[in-house]
Amino acid sequence: MKFYNREKEVKYLKTYCQLEPNSILFVYGPKSSGKSTVMRKVIKELENSDIIFFYYNLREHATPTKEEFLSIFFEKGDKKYIKNNLIIDIKVCKFGVEEEWDINNIKLNDVFRKIKEDINTVIKDGKKPVLIIDELQKLKNIYFNGNNKEGKSLLNELFNLFVHLTKVRHLCHVICLTSDTLFIEEIYQSSTLENASKYYLIDWLSKEDIKKILKEEGFSKDEIDYCINYLSLPYEISDLIENKKLGLSVEETIRQWINLESDRLKYIIDTSNVEEEKIYNILNKFRDKITLDYKKEINKEEIKYIKFLINNEILFYDVVNGIIKPTSIKKWYAIRELI
Protein backbone atom coordinates (compact mmCIF):
# COMPACT_ATOMS: atom_id res chain seq x y z
CA MET A 1 0.00 0.00 0.00
CA LYS A 2 1.20 3.48 -0.86
CA PHE A 3 2.61 5.59 1.98
CA TYR A 4 0.32 8.52 2.76
CA ASN A 5 1.17 11.80 4.46
CA ARG A 6 2.72 10.81 7.78
CA GLU A 7 5.68 13.18 7.71
CA LYS A 8 5.11 14.42 11.27
CA GLU A 9 4.96 10.88 12.67
CA VAL A 10 8.03 9.74 10.71
CA LYS A 11 10.03 12.77 11.88
CA TYR A 12 9.07 12.14 15.52
CA LEU A 13 10.06 8.47 15.42
CA LYS A 14 13.28 9.06 13.49
CA THR A 15 14.33 11.68 16.02
CA TYR A 16 13.34 9.43 18.91
CA CYS A 17 15.48 6.55 17.58
CA GLN A 18 18.52 8.83 17.50
CA LEU A 19 18.16 10.18 21.06
CA GLU A 20 19.67 8.52 24.11
CA PRO A 21 17.44 5.67 25.31
CA ASN A 22 15.54 6.76 28.42
CA SER A 23 12.08 5.17 28.24
CA ILE A 24 9.91 2.55 26.55
CA LEU A 25 7.85 4.10 23.76
CA PHE A 26 4.35 2.78 23.12
CA VAL A 27 3.07 3.72 19.66
CA TYR A 28 -0.68 3.18 19.70
CA GLY A 29 -3.71 4.01 17.61
CA PRO A 30 -6.86 2.61 15.97
CA LYS A 31 -6.53 -0.57 13.97
CA SER A 32 -5.21 0.14 10.43
CA SER A 33 -4.21 3.72 11.27
CA GLY A 34 -0.78 3.05 9.76
CA LYS A 35 1.44 2.33 12.79
CA SER A 36 3.37 -0.53 11.17
CA THR A 37 3.65 1.31 7.85
CA VAL A 38 5.06 4.39 9.57
CA MET A 39 7.53 2.29 11.55
CA ARG A 40 8.74 0.52 8.41
CA LYS A 41 9.19 3.90 6.74
CA VAL A 42 11.35 5.04 9.67
CA ILE A 43 13.48 1.90 9.49
CA LYS A 44 13.89 2.27 5.73
CA GLU A 45 15.00 5.90 6.01
CA LEU A 46 17.52 5.04 8.75
CA GLU A 47 18.83 1.78 7.29
CA ASN A 48 22.15 3.38 6.27
CA SER A 49 22.67 5.06 9.63
CA ASP A 50 24.52 3.66 12.66
CA ILE A 51 21.30 2.10 14.01
CA ILE A 52 20.71 -1.66 14.14
CA PHE A 53 16.98 -2.43 14.23
CA PHE A 54 15.65 -5.60 15.84
CA TYR A 55 12.09 -5.65 14.45
CA TYR A 56 9.47 -8.29 15.22
CA ASN A 57 6.00 -8.09 13.71
CA LEU A 58 3.87 -10.44 15.79
CA ARG A 59 0.76 -9.67 13.75
CA GLU A 60 2.27 -11.96 11.10
CA HIS A 61 2.13 -14.92 13.50
CA ALA A 62 -0.66 -16.77 15.26
CA THR A 63 -0.65 -16.22 19.02
CA PRO A 64 2.73 -17.80 19.75
CA THR A 65 3.67 -20.50 22.25
CA LYS A 66 6.88 -20.26 24.26
CA GLU A 67 8.73 -22.31 21.63
CA GLU A 68 7.38 -20.19 18.79
CA PHE A 69 8.37 -17.00 20.61
CA LEU A 70 11.94 -18.28 20.83
CA SER A 71 12.05 -19.21 17.14
CA ILE A 72 10.61 -15.80 16.16
CA PHE A 73 13.07 -13.77 18.26
CA PHE A 74 16.26 -15.82 17.89
CA GLU A 75 18.27 -17.22 14.99
CA LYS A 76 21.05 -19.79 15.26
CA GLY A 77 24.35 -18.67 13.78
CA ASP A 78 27.87 -17.47 14.51
CA LYS A 79 26.93 -13.80 15.01
CA LYS A 80 25.28 -11.92 17.85
CA TYR A 81 22.82 -10.22 15.54
CA ILE A 82 21.63 -11.83 12.33
CA LYS A 83 19.51 -10.56 9.44
CA ASN A 84 15.83 -11.21 10.02
CA ASN A 85 14.88 -13.02 6.81
CA LEU A 86 11.23 -13.09 7.84
CA ILE A 87 11.13 -9.35 7.07
CA ILE A 88 12.11 -8.99 3.41
CA ASP A 89 11.46 -5.35 2.54
CA ILE A 90 13.56 -3.63 5.22
CA LYS A 91 16.97 -4.20 6.76
CA VAL A 92 16.36 -5.59 10.27
CA CYS A 93 17.97 -8.17 12.55
CA LYS A 94 17.18 -11.00 14.97
CA PHE A 95 19.09 -11.92 18.10
CA GLY A 96 21.74 -14.57 17.39
CA VAL A 97 22.25 -17.74 19.43
CA GLU A 98 24.71 -20.63 19.37
CA GLU A 99 23.95 -23.73 17.28
CA GLU A 100 23.70 -25.89 20.41
CA TRP A 101 21.02 -23.67 21.91
CA ASP A 102 18.19 -26.04 22.94
CA ILE A 103 14.89 -24.17 23.00
CA ASN A 104 13.25 -27.03 24.90
CA ASN A 105 15.50 -26.50 27.90
CA ILE A 106 15.86 -22.73 27.99
CA LYS A 107 15.05 -20.69 31.08
CA LEU A 108 13.81 -17.12 31.02
CA ASN A 109 17.09 -15.83 32.45
CA ASP A 110 18.90 -17.47 29.52
CA VAL A 111 16.62 -15.63 27.10
CA PHE A 112 17.28 -12.27 28.71
CA ARG A 113 21.00 -12.93 28.97
CA LYS A 114 21.17 -13.53 25.22
CA ILE A 115 19.20 -10.37 24.45
CA LYS A 116 21.54 -8.29 26.64
CA GLU A 117 24.62 -9.95 25.12
CA ASP A 118 23.50 -9.13 21.58
CA ILE A 119 22.62 -5.54 22.49
CA ASN A 120 26.02 -5.06 24.10
CA THR A 121 27.68 -6.48 20.98
CA VAL A 122 25.89 -3.90 18.83
CA ILE A 123 27.14 -1.14 21.14
CA LYS A 124 30.70 -2.50 21.09
CA ASP A 125 30.54 -2.42 17.30
CA GLY A 126 29.90 1.33 17.56
CA LYS A 127 26.22 1.11 16.62
CA LYS A 128 22.91 1.93 18.31
CA PRO A 129 20.40 -0.88 18.95
CA VAL A 130 16.65 -0.27 18.62
CA LEU A 131 14.21 -3.05 19.53
CA ILE A 132 10.73 -2.80 17.95
CA ILE A 133 7.88 -5.20 18.71
CA ASP A 134 4.64 -4.88 16.76
CA GLU A 135 1.54 -6.14 18.66
CA LEU A 136 3.55 -6.97 21.79
CA GLN A 137 0.38 -7.91 23.70
CA LYS A 138 0.28 -11.23 21.81
CA LEU A 139 2.99 -12.45 24.21
CA LYS A 140 0.91 -11.97 27.36
CA ASN A 141 -0.21 -15.60 27.68
CA ILE A 142 3.28 -17.10 27.53
CA TYR A 143 4.85 -18.38 30.75
CA PHE A 144 8.28 -19.83 31.54
CA ASN A 145 9.13 -22.37 34.24
CA GLY A 146 5.51 -23.40 34.83
CA ASN A 147 1.94 -22.50 33.95
CA ASN A 148 0.13 -19.23 34.58
CA LYS A 149 -0.16 -19.98 38.29
CA GLU A 150 3.37 -21.14 38.95
CA GLY A 151 5.47 -19.79 36.10
CA LYS A 152 6.86 -16.38 35.20
CA SER A 153 4.89 -14.23 32.80
CA LEU A 154 7.05 -13.53 29.75
CA LEU A 155 5.43 -10.14 29.17
CA ASN A 156 5.81 -8.95 32.78
CA GLU A 157 9.43 -9.99 32.84
CA LEU A 158 10.05 -8.41 29.44
CA PHE A 159 8.83 -5.08 30.79
CA ASN A 160 11.31 -5.34 33.65
CA LEU A 161 14.05 -6.02 31.10
CA PHE A 162 12.92 -3.12 28.91
CA VAL A 163 13.02 -0.72 31.85
CA HIS A 164 16.56 -1.95 32.61
CA LEU A 165 17.69 -1.46 28.99
CA THR A 166 16.13 2.01 28.65
CA LYS A 167 15.51 3.92 31.86
CA VAL A 168 18.25 2.32 33.97
CA ARG A 169 21.16 1.59 31.59
CA HIS A 170 20.28 3.75 28.54
CA LEU A 171 21.52 0.97 26.24
CA CYS A 172 18.73 0.37 23.78
CA HIS A 173 15.52 1.96 22.56
CA VAL A 174 12.42 -0.22 22.97
CA ILE A 175 9.40 0.68 20.83
CA CYS A 176 6.14 -1.26 21.16
CA LEU A 177 3.31 -0.91 18.61
CA THR A 178 -0.27 -1.86 19.43
CA SER A 179 -3.89 -1.22 18.51
CA ASP A 180 -5.10 -3.01 21.67
CA THR A 181 -6.25 -0.04 23.72
CA LEU A 182 -7.19 -2.10 26.77
CA PHE A 183 -3.63 -3.37 26.77
CA ILE A 184 -2.42 0.22 26.62
CA GLU A 185 -4.66 1.01 29.59
CA GLU A 186 -3.03 -1.79 31.59
CA ILE A 187 0.40 -0.43 30.70
CA TYR A 188 -0.57 3.16 31.40
CA GLN A 189 -1.76 2.26 34.90
CA SER A 190 1.20 -0.04 35.65
CA SER A 191 3.38 1.07 38.54
CA THR A 192 6.27 -0.91 37.03
CA LEU A 193 6.36 1.46 34.06
CA GLU A 194 5.63 4.68 35.91
CA ASN A 195 8.08 7.36 34.74
CA ALA A 196 9.65 4.76 32.42
CA SER A 197 7.34 4.93 29.40
CA LYS A 198 6.14 7.37 26.74
CA TYR A 199 3.07 7.17 24.51
CA TYR A 200 2.67 8.33 20.91
CA LEU A 201 -0.65 8.27 19.09
CA ILE A 202 -0.90 7.54 15.37
CA ASP A 203 -4.49 8.44 14.66
CA TRP A 204 -6.82 9.12 11.75
CA LEU A 205 -5.57 11.10 8.77
CA SER A 206 -6.63 14.75 8.75
CA LYS A 207 -9.26 15.94 6.26
CA GLU A 208 -6.71 18.29 4.72
CA ASP A 209 -4.31 15.43 4.03
CA ILE A 210 -7.09 13.24 2.64
CA LYS A 211 -8.23 16.00 0.27
CA LYS A 212 -4.67 16.47 -0.93
CA ILE A 213 -4.17 12.76 -1.54
CA LEU A 214 -7.44 12.32 -3.42
CA LYS A 215 -6.71 15.35 -5.60
CA GLU A 216 -3.27 13.92 -6.45
CA GLU A 217 -4.95 10.59 -7.29
CA GLY A 218 -7.23 12.27 -9.84
CA PHE A 219 -10.52 12.47 -7.95
CA SER A 220 -12.84 15.29 -8.99
CA LYS A 221 -13.97 18.05 -6.64
CA ASP A 222 -17.47 16.56 -6.49
CA GLU A 223 -16.07 13.12 -5.60
CA ILE A 224 -13.84 14.59 -2.91
CA ASP A 225 -16.65 16.70 -1.48
CA TYR A 226 -18.86 13.61 -1.27
CA CYS A 227 -16.45 11.20 0.37
CA ILE A 228 -14.33 13.47 2.57
CA ASN A 229 -16.61 13.08 5.61
CA TYR A 230 -16.45 9.27 5.46
CA LEU A 231 -12.68 8.72 5.29
CA SER A 232 -10.20 8.46 8.14
CA LEU A 233 -7.74 5.58 7.55
CA PRO A 234 -5.03 5.05 4.91
CA TYR A 235 -6.32 1.69 3.66
CA GLU A 236 -9.73 3.26 2.93
CA ILE A 237 -8.09 5.61 0.47
CA SER A 238 -6.37 2.68 -1.25
CA ASP A 239 -9.69 0.82 -1.42
CA LEU A 240 -11.43 3.88 -2.86
CA ILE A 241 -8.75 4.28 -5.55
CA GLU A 242 -8.86 0.59 -6.46
CA ASN A 243 -12.66 0.52 -6.64
CA LYS A 244 -12.69 3.59 -8.88
CA LYS A 245 -10.37 1.76 -11.29
CA LEU A 246 -12.80 -1.18 -11.17
CA GLY A 247 -15.66 1.10 -12.16
CA LEU A 248 -17.35 1.70 -8.80
CA SER A 249 -18.34 5.24 -7.88
CA VAL A 250 -17.32 6.72 -4.54
CA GLU A 251 -21.00 6.59 -3.52
CA GLU A 252 -21.16 2.85 -4.22
CA THR A 253 -17.92 2.15 -2.34
CA ILE A 254 -18.95 4.10 0.74
CA ARG A 255 -22.43 2.55 0.78
CA GLN A 256 -20.81 -0.91 0.66
CA TRP A 257 -18.53 0.02 3.57
CA ILE A 258 -21.35 1.23 5.79
CA ASN A 259 -23.62 -1.73 4.96
CA LEU A 260 -20.86 -4.22 5.75
CA GLU A 261 -19.85 -2.46 8.97
CA SER A 262 -23.47 -2.14 10.11
CA ASP A 263 -24.18 -5.82 9.38
CA ARG A 264 -21.03 -6.89 11.20
CA LEU A 265 -21.91 -4.79 14.23
CA LYS A 266 -25.43 -6.22 14.39
CA TYR A 267 -24.05 -9.76 14.10
CA ILE A 268 -21.61 -9.17 16.96
CA ILE A 269 -24.37 -7.86 19.20
CA ASP A 270 -26.87 -10.59 18.22
CA THR A 271 -24.40 -13.41 18.91
CA SER A 272 -22.93 -12.06 22.15
CA ASN A 273 -23.85 -12.89 25.73
CA VAL A 274 -23.90 -9.28 26.90
CA GLU A 275 -27.15 -7.41 27.46
CA GLU A 276 -28.26 -6.06 24.09
CA GLU A 277 -30.08 -3.08 25.60
CA LYS A 278 -26.93 -1.99 27.45
CA ILE A 279 -24.86 -2.16 24.27
CA TYR A 280 -27.38 -0.07 22.35
CA ASN A 281 -27.41 2.46 25.20
CA ILE A 282 -23.66 2.90 24.71
CA LEU A 283 -23.98 3.17 20.93
CA ASN A 284 -26.73 5.74 21.31
CA LYS A 285 -24.20 8.06 22.93
CA PHE A 286 -22.63 8.38 19.48
CA ARG A 287 -25.84 9.38 17.72
CA ASP A 288 -24.92 13.06 17.56
CA LYS A 289 -21.21 13.07 18.41
CA ILE A 290 -18.17 11.10 17.34
CA THR A 291 -16.13 11.27 20.58
CA LEU A 292 -16.92 10.79 24.27
CA ASP A 293 -15.01 12.03 27.30
CA TYR A 294 -14.27 8.90 29.34
CA LYS A 295 -14.27 10.68 32.71
CA LYS A 296 -17.37 12.80 32.15
CA GLU A 297 -19.62 10.69 29.93
CA ILE A 298 -19.03 7.08 31.00
CA ASN A 299 -20.20 5.72 34.36
CA LYS A 300 -18.92 2.68 36.22
CA GLU A 301 -21.79 0.42 35.14
CA GLU A 302 -21.09 1.14 31.48
CA ILE A 303 -17.42 0.17 31.50
CA LYS A 304 -18.16 -3.53 30.92
CA TYR A 305 -20.03 -2.73 27.70
CA ILE A 306 -17.45 -0.19 26.57
CA LYS A 307 -14.78 -2.89 26.92
CA PHE A 308 -16.91 -5.32 24.92
CA LEU A 309 -17.10 -2.82 22.05
CA ILE A 310 -13.38 -2.07 22.29
CA ASN A 311 -12.47 -5.77 22.25
CA ASN A 312 -14.58 -6.22 19.13
CA GLU A 313 -12.85 -3.23 17.45
CA ILE A 314 -16.01 -1.16 17.30
CA LEU A 315 -14.67 1.54 19.61
CA PHE A 316 -11.18 2.90 20.20
CA TYR A 317 -10.10 4.12 23.64
CA ASP A 318 -7.35 6.72 23.71
CA VAL A 319 -6.37 6.18 27.33
CA VAL A 320 -3.74 8.92 27.33
CA ASN A 321 -6.19 11.62 26.25
CA GLY A 322 -9.29 10.08 27.86
CA ILE A 323 -11.25 9.89 24.59
CA ILE A 324 -13.53 7.10 23.31
CA LYS A 325 -14.59 7.04 19.67
CA PRO A 326 -15.38 4.56 16.87
CA THR A 327 -12.33 2.93 15.32
CA SER A 328 -13.02 4.82 12.10
CA ILE A 329 -15.42 7.43 10.75
CA LYS A 330 -17.14 4.86 8.54
CA LYS A 331 -17.71 2.80 11.70
CA TRP A 332 -19.40 5.85 13.21
CA TYR A 333 -21.82 6.02 10.28
CA ALA A 334 -22.48 2.29 10.64
CA ILE A 335 -23.29 2.78 14.33
CA ARG A 336 -25.67 5.62 13.52
CA GLU A 337 -27.37 3.56 10.83
CA LEU A 338 -27.86 0.63 13.19
CA ILE A 339 -29.35 2.67 16.01
pLDDT of 151: 78
**First vs last C-alpha separation in the chain:** 34
Domains annotated on the chain, with CATH: 7-201 (3.40.50.300), 207-338 (1.10.10.10)
pLDDT of residue 264: 97
**Gap between the Cα atoms of 265 and 259, Å rounded:** 10
From CA 124, how far away is CA 273, in angstroms rounded?
Answer: 56
Cα–Cα distance measured from residue 83 to residue 87, given in angstroms and rounded to the nearest whole number: 9
pLDDT, residue 198, reads 95
pLDDT at 2: 65
Per-residue pLDDT of the chain (339 residues; tens, 9 = 90+): 567 779 999 999 999 999 999 999 999 999 999 999 999 999 999 999 999 999 999 987 777 788 889 989 999 998 889 999 888 889 999 999 998 888 778 889 999 999 999 999 999 999 999 999 999 999 988 998 766 656 788 999 999 999 999 999 999 999 999 999 899 888 888 878 989 999 999 999 999 999 999 999 999 999 999 999 999 999 999 999 999 999 999 999 999 999 999 999 999 999 999 999 999 999 999 999 999 999 999 999 999 999 999 999 999 999 999 999 999 999 999 999 999
Answer yes or no: are the C-beta atoms of 54 and 81 closer than 8 Å: yes
**Cα(96)–Cα(105) distance, integer angstroms:** 17
How far is residue 42's CA from residue 308's CA, in Å, rounded to a whole number?
A: 34
Q: What is the C-alpha to C-alpha distance for residues 232 and 209, in angstroms, rounded to an integer?
A: 10
